[in-house]
């Protein structure tokens, strides 16, 4: 006996099929267009702020006894994970900037992992997948 399909998955599959058919009707070249992949490529054009700029804007410059840029970015990553890691670009950009601010890959993983207690395993897994993509792109770094 075949497993019944989850109703939500069936609905999403149907919507995706309909969207592809509509895109093909408007412009046949859009049949294989993936907005998420296109946006990811566009995202690569956004520069990573140098650590000094991050410190000036987010770190110790304004409040000398306050949090440094790395800590602020790890907190931002925790908050994005708590929201279910739904903002792909924001998670990837935050990981990229955290690495530039001196965060080690282990610190990023621990920050996301800590949120599993509060946000749940699915949110943690999604954030880890997004972060891993950025860290794989930076695999030559010694962080």
Task: Grade residue 37 by pLDDT with cuts at 50, 70 and 90.
Answer: low
136: left (phi over 0), alpha (psi -120 to 50) or beta: alpha
User: Please, what CATH class does the domain formed by 39-137 belong to?
Assistant: mainly alpha
What is the distance in angstroms between the CA of the first residue and the CA of the last residue of the chain? 50
Domain ranges of the chain: 7-33, 39-137
Look at residues 64, 130, 78, 141 and name the one whose alpha carbon lies nearest to residue 107.
Answer: 78
pLDDT score, position 143: 43
pLDDT for position 77: 96
Instruction: Kindly indicate the confidence band of residue 42, based on its pLDDT and cuts at 50, 70 and 90.
Output: low
Are 84 and 123 in contact by the 8 Å Cβ rule? The answer is yes
Q: What are 75-131's pLDDT values in tens digits?
A: 999 999 999 888 888 899 999 999 998 999 999 999 999 999 899 999 999 999 999
pLDDT exceeds cutoff 50 at 38: yes
**Predicted TM-score of the model (pTM):** 0.63
């Amino acid at each position: 006996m075949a497993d019944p399909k989850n109703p939500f998955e069936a609905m999403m599959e149907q919507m995706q099929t309909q969207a592809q058919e509509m895109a093909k009707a408007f412009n046949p070249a859009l049949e294989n267009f993936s907005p998420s992949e296109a946006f990811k490529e566009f995202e690569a054009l956004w520069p990573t702020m140098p650590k000094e700029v991050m410190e000036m804007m987010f770190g110790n410059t304004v409040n000398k006894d306050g949090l440094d840029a790395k800590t602020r970015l790890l907190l931002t990553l925790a908050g994005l994970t708590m929201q279910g890691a739904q903002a792909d670009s924001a998670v990837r950009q935050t990981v990229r900037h955290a690495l530039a601010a001196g965060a080690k890959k282990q610190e990023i993983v621990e920050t996301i992992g800590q949120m599993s207690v509060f946000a749940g395993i699915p949110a943690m897994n999604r954030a880890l997948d997004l972060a891993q993509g950025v860290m794989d792109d930076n695999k030559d770094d010694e962080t």
